[in-house]
Structure 1
Amino acid sequence: MAPNLREIVKKRIMSDMVQAAAPGKWKIMVVDPSALKILKTACKMEDIIDEKVTVVEDIFNKSRQPYPTQDAIYFISPNNEAVSAFIDDFKAKPMYARAHVYCTAGLPDRLLQSIKRSPALQYTKTLTELNVDFLAVEPQVFTFDAPNKFFAFFNPPSAAHLNYEIEVIAKRLTSVLVTLGEYPFIRFYDPDGRRETLSAKLGLAIQKEMDEYCRIESDFPPQSPYPRAILIVTDRTLDVMAPLLHEFTYQAMIYDLLTLDGNQYTYKSDEGVQKVMLDESDAIWTQIRHQHFADASNHILDSFKTFLENNKAAASSVRDQQSGNRPKGLDSLKEMQDTISALPQFQELKKQFAVHINICRECQSAFEEGKYSDIGAIEQDLATGESADGKHLKDMMVALVPLLDNTSVLNADKLRLLALYIIAQEGIQDDARRRLLEHARLSAEESQGITNLSILGVRLSSRMQKTREQKGRYTYWGHKLEKKGKKRRDDDMPYDLSRYIPIHKYILEDQVENCVDVAIFPWIKEPPPSDIGPAKATWARAGGVPAPGNTASNSASLRTTKPSWAQRRVTASGSDTASVASTSSGSSSITRGRDEDLRRNGPRVILFILGGITYSEMRAAYEVMRKSQREVIVGSTAIMTPSEFVDDIKWLDKGAVPSMASRTQPRKPAYGEDRSSSKVGGGSRPQVGEVGKAVPQAERVSPSSSPRTARMVKPPPRSAGGFSMFKR
């Protein structure tokens, strides 16, 4: 099977750095915070330690212990601070025997000259650029973990500052493309055709950086039997609805309603407070993260039911503990939790399921407490322009005002509703906006957030002139017209509260079929037809393998009272759409043959969204990839949660969020945390010493004295019954 993005980055770090530096000998690794984050995202610390790395240390820790007989791997960012700290390690008494320096990205000439003029040069045996200046957070998703760039792009202090920030992002995207071995054809969002949009400026900057890299590195791009990739550049203004909507697929719902520290989830178990990572090492997580929450919950229940059916010892243990004729754990997550407690001998099982049982129960509580059945129904009507049964909307304000008046509804949710209403109405009367704000009783900063939507191109007032962007194909209403008289899409989410399809999904679907509107997404250098295939190419729909069976359909007996959020939609023919649930929102895994590379089916498609990507858009990329059997990679400056987007628009006119303590917190804090904790992805420096593992001194050996030639590289309404999967 062809490696995915995470695997490519891991191989580059392990093969080209960890294993290449002083092979077979004990060594130290020295990192800065940015490099450590890249390292921990791509690799397990156990992988590093297995290659005879005795400890991982923070380069800014002045009290580090010297190891003058051992080599050191420096994995650092190519900036003034990290390079200066590296030089300082060899100014007086050298900290290490030799230095193998690996920069996350291209090293500027001035910093290279600083190293050459310093005492550190004689100890530097390797100096290499890895081009991994990004986080491969998922197999098909990368990010620059730079949420504050939102302000730099959408309200920059000056044109010069904007140009600088665009250049920085272009260089980092070049790292991604070099790591992938791609010299792509680039197209960008430019509906006016003036090349003045942020997307246009970034696209042109990327082309310049890639051309320069290819000029310096004559052997790039490497030879490949596959066509050149296609890079699509857009920005957050293309779809402002997506980060405002409540998304009820598993991953998105967790990050919206709960508080996580990055991808670390904290909960309380019988053994005390537990902290676990929701990542690729969790098999259940990778299977259900893109499923609708109802289907994900049923998947957990069905998996446990299967375990009991196939393990007689476990089933017998449960019967003995509960004195029943049959094992529990089959009808609700609460009973499943009790059943697991009766299986002390199955510790691994408890670890696998306990995390997701707790998550499901916390999300259930937050959903019911937050009135998200009512809120979500109105949000979906506003976002899609029609009711759940496909009828034309009449006076949405009648449904909106009671929620704005309700004091139990969070102000952040009221702001999201108001913003969606204004976008859906394509602007409202100024007096109407003032009256709605009075009903909502928002703070001055929250009310300013509504006004600041205009900075993102939202038409606030019905008196404002409509722009061309509101009439184009890739707009909120562009596909509504196409749906009239047509049957529902096979991959439509079969739930009333999950009807909205992100605009970026339409763009990806059109690109794999080679029918993106060139007037809206022009090429910088138009590729020859042989490189991108014919329009509506047959291979874009060929070879698709259905996703695994829908777990919900296998557990219909679990469904008793159905709140509106978990009510399935009905097709025009009157049939239930349950059969497509797993296709639209199921496992994120992509069905491939053992040696299959999806690039055989057409060029790799890379989508970059400047200003933040939502979890719904990440999910959409996997769905397009699964259905089309084409490789799709998406990335952004940061992954954006709804609460972060709300904070960003509240302070957009000021140019920054005043402090991390001002960040809006979800209704349900993580166990043991307080609501004043910093936002996900906050800026505190990692404690590097906590992630390393020291090898006993007796096991350490001195490195060989044979030198290694230095390599200098030229830089380049709510139901009382709760969720449908729970019996009361």
Structure 2
Amino acid sequence: MAPRGLKALVGEKILNEVIRSVKKEGEWKVLVLDQPSTRIVSACCKMSDILAEGVTRCPEELFEELGRSRAARAIRTLKEIDVAFVPYESQVFTLDAPRSFHGCYSPFGAGERVTVLGTLATRLATLCATLGVYPAVRYRRGPEDNAVLAQALLARLDALRADTPAMAEGRTQLLIVDRSFDLVTPLLHELTLQAMAHDLLDIRHDTYRYETSGLGEVREKAALLDEDDELWVQLRHMHIADVSRKVTELLKTFCESKRLNTEKANIKELSYILKKMPQYQKELSRYATHLSLADACMRRFQGTVERLCAVEQDLAMGTDAEGEKVKDPMKVMVPVLLDPAVDPYDKLRVILLYVLLKNGVTEENLAKLVQHANVPAAQQRVLPNLRLLGAPLTPASGRLRPEVRQRPQATYQLSRWSPAIKDVLEDALEDRLDPEQWPFVCPPATPPSTQAAVSARFGQWHRGRGGAAAGAAVAGAPRVLLFLLGGAALAETRCAYEVAPGAPVLLGSSHILTPRSFLEAVEGLDQPLPPEA
């Protein structure tokens, strides 16, 4: 089964509060959606679910015509629900606001920064209202925007709670951290399937397009990579080295259960089986999709990506695969920078990882690296623009690389780095976050003196927030909500599932990042934001 979680919760809210509340026997309704609403509904409701409720969708062209006409006066029912976020996955959400990155970090957006942060706060507050929680809001000390967003969020939560008494004060924490907290993770080539596919392949709107061939035919197919695909849920966080083997095993098990004869588990043979056994088209098509996806990722990996991964992991960790300190980083990175087959953005990723490892380099040395790499002038703007995220690349500018917890030796040498956000989530679940580094916007109530002694440094803040009654009121609510200001990498969203399978943790951001989209966004920070398409 596809995992229950945030998507299911919002889907039920839409069906119950918007559609079923106005449903009458024997009547069909027209559902009128603007673009933001369409993204929210599409993320958590199947079209078949909506049609089953006696509803037909109003196309955008008709919606615009209705808005211009007198018919708008005749629309009988307007149902408003506080959902201004997109449930991307069962434990992941976005605020559907990629342009907020420019508003938060570009000097051209300085005049709108408070407004942008206020909009994000409003959308975050609707997430809390949907979950029925009034969380303790904390933020990472340092960047001013973290504190501003946290204060704005608290104000909106207070306003919502006045109208929504069901928002219970319990053990939930909402943590706010900015993108500069970890600049390493969005630069790395990640080798788990979901992140790797979005990094290396042309996947748009989570849709993978590929060609199949069989019996002389070549057909283009499109597959949506979402949680309605149970096979995708099993595979998305697996290392690419394990994916093909796992798909093959699952396919053979399926074929044996249906008494299908297949000696080779490959896309071509699946095409033949589909011709003969059309009743199994849905299941076999999914296996074909994921075999194709894994194969496409491996083909890219076996080009320049494998060499890049080795260099990137050494620079990110500061140690090589044997655990020895990298004494001469230039020695491992120069061959990549000089290779004309390596994409300029990939060379930038290597240069930035080197600068983060060294905690800054001189402008002269940086210019030499760029010259060796032959990076085009437009893309060179990424380097100075990174200072706008609070990370100047010159020496003595502070620690640029995040401290991450030492973990047991990774199974794969090219996947040794662990996102810094994973440490934060683990500490939050164990009440180990330092209150000096992660202050509360509003200090929690002091635990009663009758309670057992607690840690003098970290405390157990949640014990003074309504006691057992409050805990019962939010049974099933997530323990930790983490919001990453400035975009979240798919390697980071994976951490929500790794530290807490089953949704005690939700992780979200303004939008989902790929390494390319992150670098392009940084590149554009010294320019005005183009009009929205």
TM-score, with structure 1 as normaliser: 0.66
Separation (CA, whole Å) in 2 of partners of 1:648 and 1:158: 13
**Does the 8 A contact of 1:30 with 1:59 survive in 2?**
no
**Alignment CA distance shift 1:253-1:598 (3 Å):** farther
Partner residue in 2 for 1:623: 498
Deviation (angstroms), 1:430: 2.1
- Does 2:403 match 1:478? yes
Shift of the 95–29 alpha-carbon distance from structure 1 to 2, 3 Å rule, reads: same
Cα pair distance change 1:412/1:55, threshold 3 Å: same
Find the counterpart in structure 2 of residue 339 from structure 1: 269
Corresponding residue number in structure 2 for 1:209: 156
Give the structure 2 partner of residue 40 of structure 1: 42
Q: How does 1:106-185 map to 2 (within 5 A)?
A: 129-157=80-108, 159-185=110-136
What are the within-5 Å matches in structure 2 for residues 3-152 of structure 1?
4-24=5-25, 25-58=27-60, 61-63=63-65, 85=67, 88-90=68-70, 94=71, 98-102=75-79, 129-152=80-103
The one-letter code matched in structure 2 to 1:620 is C
Deviations 1:388-414 (A, max 9, x none): 111111111011111111000001100
Q: Which of residues 210, 226, 235 is equivalent to 1:279?
A: 226
Is 1:507 the counterpart of 2:424 in the alignment? yes
**Secondary structure of the equivalent of 2:414?**
coil
Post-superposition shift, 1:450? Answer: 1.2
**Are the counterparts in 2 of residues 267 and 273 from structure 1 also a CA contact under 8 Å?**
yes
Q: What letter matches 1:431 in structure 2?
A: E
Residues 136 and 173 in structure 2, CA contact (< 8 A), matched pair in contact too = yes
- 2:433 counterpart letter in structure 1: V
> How many Å separate the matches in 2 of 1:635 and 1:284?
23
Distance, in Å, in 2 between the alignment partners of 1:386 and 1:599 is: 44
In the TM superposition, residue 605 of structure 1 has moved relative to its aligned partner by 0.3
Change in CA separation of 1:305 and 1:435 when aligned onto 2, cut-off 3 Å: same
Please give the alpha-carbon distance, in whole angstroms, between the structure 2 residues aligned to 1:101 and 1:478.
Answer: 50
Match of 1:244 in 2: 187
Choose from 359, 363, 366 the match for 2:293.
Answer: 359
Please say if 1:458 is aligned against 2:458: no
Task: State how far apart, in whole Å, the 2-side matches of 1:143 and 1:15 are.
Answer: 22
Q: Is the 8 A contact 1:423 1:458 kept in 2?
A: no
Report the counterpart of residue 717 of structure 1 in structure 2.
none
Whether contact under 8 Å (1:599, 1:630) holds in the other structure is no
Q: Is 1:424 aligned to residue 368 of structure 2?
A: no
Q: Does 1:328 align with 2:264?
A: yes
- Structure 2: 5+ residue stretches without partners: 461-471
Q: Superposed, which structure 2 residues align to 1:273-672 within 5 Å?
A: 273-311=220-258, 313-315=259-261, 318=262, 327-329=263-265, 336-343=266-273, 344-345=276-277, 346-369=280-303, 371-462=304-395, 465-467=396-398, 470=399, 476=401, 478-479=403-404, 483=406, 488-489=407-408, 493-528=410-445, 604-626=479-501, 631-656=504-529
Q: TM-score, normalised by structure 2?
A: 0.89
Q: 1:12 to 1:525 in 2, by over 3 A?
A: same
Residues 341-386 of structure 1 show CA distances to partners (whole Å, capped at 9, x for unaligned) of 34231423321211111111111111122x1111111111111111
Q: Report the AA paired with residue 29 of structure 1.
A: L
Residue of 189, 192, 205 corresponding to 1:262: 205
CA distance in 1, matches of 2:157, 2:333: 49
- Contact in 2 for aligned 1:189/1:520 (Cα 8 Å): yes
Q: 1:10 to 1:199 in 2, by over 3 A?
A: same
The residue type equivalent to 2:185 in the other structure is: A
Please state whether the residue corresponding to 1:275 is helix, strand or coil.
strand
Deviation at 1:457, TM superposition (A): 2.1
Change (3 A) 1:62 1:391: closer
Q: Distance in 1 between matches of 2:57 and 2:381?
A: 49
Q: CA RMSD in A?
A: 2.8
2:226–2:233 contact (8 Å) kept in structure 1 = yes
Residue 218 of structure 1 and its aligned partner are, at CA, apart by 5.6
The correspondence for 1:230, drawn from 157, 173, 179, is 173
CA contact (8 A) 1:605 1:631 kept: yes
Of all paired residues, the percent bearing the same amino acid is 31
Q: What's the offset of the Cα at 1:42?
A: 1.2
Distance between the aligned counterparts of 1:611 and 1:461, measured in 2? 22
Cα shift at 1:63? 4.7
Whichever residue aligns with residue 113 of structure 2, its letter is L
Contact 1:380 1:500 in 2 (8 A): yes
Tell me which structure has the larger Cα radius of gyration: 1
Query: Residue type of the partner of 2:324?
Result: K
**What is the CA-CA distance between 1:529 and the residue it aligns to?**
6.8
Instruction: Please name the residue that 2:465 is paired with.
Output: none
* 1:477-505 deviation line (CA, Å, top 9, x unaligned): 5346xx4xxxx43xx64211111111111
**Post-superposition offset of 1:287:** 0.6
- Matched to 1:515, the amino acid is R
Q: What SS does the aligned partner of 2:209 have? A: strand
**Does the residue aligned with 2:233 lie in a helix, a strand or coil?**
helix
The one-letter code of the counterpart of 2:525 is: L
Change in Cα spacing, 1:130 to 1:337, as seen in structure 2 (3 Å) is same
What does the per-residue CA deviation read over 1:427-469, in whole Å, with 9 as the maximum and x for residues that have no partner? 112221111111111111111111111222224122xx333xx
- 1-side partners of 2:338 and 2:323: how far apart? 28
Superposed CA offset, 1:120-140 (max 9, x none): xxxxxxxxx301111101001
Aligned to 2:468: none
Offset at 1:26?
A: 1.1
Structure 1: give runs of 5+ residues left out of the alignment: 65-84, 103-128, 319-326, 330-335, 539-596, 660-682, 685-728
Task: State how far apart, in whole Å, the 2-side matches of 1:613 and 1:210 are.
Answer: 23
| 2:488 aligned counterpart, secondary structure | coil
> Is the Cα contact below 8 Å between 2:124 and 2:153 reproduced in 1?
yes
Q: Which residue of 2 aligns with 1:551?
A: none
Distance across 2 between alignment mates of 1:520 and 1:63: 53
Given residue 203 of structure 2, which amino acid in structure 1 is its aligned partner? Answer: L
CA deviation vs aligned residue, 1:142-170 (integer Å, no higher than 9, x gap): 10222121110011436441111111111
Report the secondary structure of 2:423's partner residue: helix
Paired amino acid for 1:631: P
Amino acid at match of 1:513: E
**Deviations 1:288-331, CA, capped at 9 Å, x for gaps:** 101111122221011122234444x312xx4xxxxxxxx233xx
Q: Does 1:219 align with 2:204?
A: no
Q: Secondary structure at the match of 1:466?
A: coil
Q: Is the 8 A contact 1:609 1:636 kept in 2?
A: yes
CA displacement 1:246-297 (0-9 Å, x = unmatched): 1000000000000112111111124621112111111110111011111222
CA deviations on 1:1-20 (whole Å, 9 max, x unpaired) are: 99521111101100000111
Name the CA distance, whole Å, in 1 between partners of 2:176 and 2:327: 36
* Cα contact 1:32–1:59 (8 A) shared by 2: no
**How far does residue 228 in structure 1 lie from its aligned partner after superposition?**
3.5
